Amino acid sequence: MGEYFGRLLPVLHVANLFDGPKVEGSLAYWFYRLPTWSWLLFETSQMALLATLAGASLAFLACFAAAANLAPRRWIYIATRRSLEVLRTIPDIVYALIFVWAFGVGPLAGILALGLHTVGALGKQFAEAVENADMGSWDGVRATGANWAQCVRFAILPQVLPNLVSFGLLRFEINVRGATVIGFVGAGGIGQELYTLISLNYYDEIGAILVLIVAAVSLIDVVSEQLRQAVIGRQVA
Amino acid sequence: MTENSARDIARLQAQIPRAFRASLGVRLLRWFVGLAALSWIVVLLWWFDITPARIAGGLSGLAKIVVLMIPPSPGAQWRAILNGLAESVAMAFLGTFVAMLLAVPLGFLGARNVVVNLLAHFAIRRIYDGFRGMDQLIWALAFVRAVGLGPLAGVLAICAAETAVMAKLFAEAIENADPKQIEGISSVGGNSLCRLRFGLLPQVLPVMLAQFLYQFESNVRSASILGVVGAGGIGLQIAERIKVRYWDEVLFIILLILVTVALIDYASARIRRRMIGI
């Protein structure tokens, strides 16, 4: 075991660390396929972005029916809650395995798998944010003769929108992690490349790609964290 | 009356236009950002070749699969399915438990009030974050290569990914602990070990226990898919049945996972309430 992980570490020589990609022991030699991998990572992050956007939109539509204070009927509330629960309990990889059959190999299956899982996860969080909203403004808007949709727009939405955006960004971070592995089952992104490399025991390249994945995920986390704090901060101010 | 109020509104609009609508620059900026986002989405749809025709084709394929899934059936190999399920739960428990044991000292190491050096604190936390950046499935794939197919790879994968997560959670719990109790222990002459044991540990132990239960719940979910890459558990069963298109058995396994996860969530919530009241 230690031997396997030991081999993942690259052979680097301090003397020619910064030499060109032809010199053994240099960083450039280790990361010789950096352009390809960067592009794949970018593709992976954009898969996660699209999945999060699609999932968040559907979750947004579902969350008002899944909030106890706004659901028009009790049974609608319970039915929506249960459906969201089922959607988020099934792992995204299982969706991906099935969707690869239905939609073919490629990013589309992965995006749909991540998106469907996102609907369940975000739907619940959105609904809880809506349930915590102050209903006083709802009564106020209601008193002006607004209908249900207008009440949602002018009473609830201004209160909960920062929270929803924050939950969405958090889910985007999670989806980026998910998108890096969804390629293991043929659903697009950098996972496919990583799966091949690990199967073929290309030790140096596995190490390099893992470093890249960790770096990219950390970078996205940091940026998203800043965005989240900006969004939440605006609510407080 | 209405005339008056209409005139009032017009007057107010002239006096304080910003209360009625944003300035031209802000509105233009909003339009620009909105359009840019929209066109980027269109580019992405084009890039990933997502067309209505493909979606429709896929959905009709999916409908056929769903029809084949009903009614769910345990199939002839139901013993293997139940065995895999038990294996998944066991993998999750063992992996989370070992991770917790490893994470306790690492949590102390990562807490700002224990390791006071800012640079060291920052470096340790970034290492935890880095480990968290790697998905459990990547760990599983690597461990399958390192120790071979089977549940051991799964336990190690859960343990490796979970240790970093729990170390971070524990470190935050320790940082949030009340310093007064620790000062109390020093005031009666306790050394630093006593301070940790009697001042800090009683405060953070319930939080750690709650985190353990939460992570166990979450790991039961992920342990159910580690088998997809050969790391043991029910994931192997589900992947094999999807490969040979036994869709009714696939649905059976999915339902089984749903029930198990619900049961474990319920039990874990009761334990949490009984033991720590959260």
Q: What percent of chain A has pLDDT over 70?
A: 98
Range from A112-121, A143-152, B140-149 that averages highest in pLDDT = A112-121
pLDDT tier, A117 (very low <50, low <70, confident <90, very high otherwise): very high
Residue B62, in any domain of the structure: no
B228/A184 Cβ within 8 A: yes
- Does residue A13 register a pLDDT over 80? no
Q: Does the beta-carbon distance from B262 to A221 stay under 8 Å?
A: no
For B116, other C-beta atoms within 10 Å of its C-beta total 9
Q: Do A108 and B59 touch (CB under 8 A)?
A: no
Measure the CA–CA gap between B212 and B100, rounded to whole angstroms.
Answer: 7
Beta carbons of B133 and A97 less than 8 Å apart: no
Averaged pLDDT for residues A159-180: 91
Confidence grade of residue B36 (pLDDT, cut at 50, 70, 90): very high
| pLDDT over 90, % of chain A | 41
Residue with tokens 């269109």, as numbered in its chain: B42
Q: Which of B131, B140, B139 is nearest to B106 (CA)?
A: B131
CB contact under 8 A, B250 and A98: yes
Cβ distance B141 to A104 less than 8 Å, yes or no, reads no
pLDDT computed for residue B18 by the predictor: 78
How far is the alpha carbon of B166 from chain A, nearest alpha carbon, in Å?
17
Confidence of residue A234 (pLDDT cuts 50, 70, 90): low
Local structure of A134: helix, strand or coil: coil
pLDDT grade for A237, boundaries at 50, 70 and 90: very low
Structure ipTM? 0.84
User: How many other CB atoms are found less than 10 A from the CB of residue A67?
Assistant: 22
Residues of B in Cβ contact (< 8 Å) with A53:
41
Write out chain A residues lying below 8 Å of B52, CB-based: none
Q: Residue A77, Cβ neighbours under 10 Å: how many?
A: 18
Q: Rounded mean pLDDT of A139-158?
A: 89
pTM summary value:
0.86
Report the pLDDT averaged over residues B101-115. 86
Task: Kindly report the CATH number assigned to the domain that includes residue B215.
Answer: 1.10.3720.10
By Cβ distance, the residue of B58, B135, B224 closest to A181 is: B135
Q: What is the SS3 string spanning B202-255?
A: HHHHHHHHHHHHHHHHHHHHHHCCHHHHCCCCHHHHHHHHHHCCCHHHHHHHHH
Average pLDDT, chain B: 88
Does B42 share its domain with B157? no
Residue from the list B142, B147, B225 with its beta carbon closest to the beta carbon of A91: B225
Determine the average pLDDT of the residues in A175-194: 90
Average pLDDT rounded to a whole number, residues B254-270: 91
Predicted pLDDT at B17: 80
Domain boundaries of chain A, sorted by first residue: 34-236
Closest approach of A181 to chain B, Cα-based (Å): 7
A57-104, pLDDT tens digit by residue? Answer: 999 999 988 988 888 888 999 999 999 999 998 989 999 999 999 998
Does A91 contact B62 at a Cβ distance shorter than 8 Å? no
Q: Are residues B7 and B110 in the same domain?
A: no
pLDDT, mean of residues B236-253: 89
Domain annotation covers residue B57: no
Q: Judge whether B154 lies within some domain.
A: yes
pLDDT at residue B251, as a whole number:
92
Q: Give the minimum alpha-carbon distance from B138 to chain A in angstroms, rounded to a whole number.
A: 7
Mean pLDDT of B87-110: 92
Instruction: Flag whether B69 is in a domain.
Output: no
Residue type, B136: Q
pLDDT at residue A141 is higher than 60: yes
Range scoring the smallest mean pLDDT among A19-33, B121-135, B215-229? A19-33
Q: Tokens representing A77?
A: 């509330």
At B278, the pLDDT band (50, 70, 90 cuts) reads: low
Average pLDDT of the segment spanning A191-218: 88
| Per-residue model confidence (pLDDT) at position B216 | 92
Does B141 sit within 8 Å of A108, measured CB to CB? no
Query: Which pLDDT score, from 0 to 100, does residue A120 have?
Result: 93
Q: What is the pLDDT of residue B96?
A: 94
- Asked, for residue B105, whether it belongs to a domain, the answer is yes
In this complex, how many residue pairs, one in chain A and one in chain B, have their CB atoms less than 8 Å apart?
A: 118
**Integer Cα distance of B53 and A108 in angstroms:** 13
Interface test with A, best of B125, B138, B237 (most A CBs within 10 A): B138
User: Are residues A4 and B146, on separate chains, in Cβ contact within 8 Å?
Assistant: yes
Which residue reads 């209405």 in tokens? B2
Instruction: Categorize the per-residue pLDDT at B130 as very low, low, confident or very high, splitting at 50, 70 and 90.
Output: confident
Residue B100 exposed, middle or buried by CB count within 10 Å (0-12, 13-18, 19+): buried
Taking an 8 Å cut-off on Cβ atoms, the answer to whether B134 and A104 are in contact is no
How many structural domains is chain B composed of?
A: 2
Confidence band, pLDDT 50/70/90 cuts, at residue B272? confident
Q: How far is B244 from chain A (nearest CA, A)?
A: 11
Residues A27, B226: Cα–Cα separation, whole Å: 33
Query: Which CATH number does the domain A34-236 belong to among 1.10.3720.10, 3.40.50.1820, 3.40.50.1220, 3.40.50.2000?
Result: 1.10.3720.10
* Cβ contacts of A214 on chain B, cutoff 8 Å: 130, 133-134
Residues in chain A closer than 8 A to B41 (CB atoms): 50, 53
Domain coverage including residue B263 = 78-276
Taking residue B223's Cβ as centre, other Cβ atoms within 10 Å add up to 34
pLDDT at B2: 63
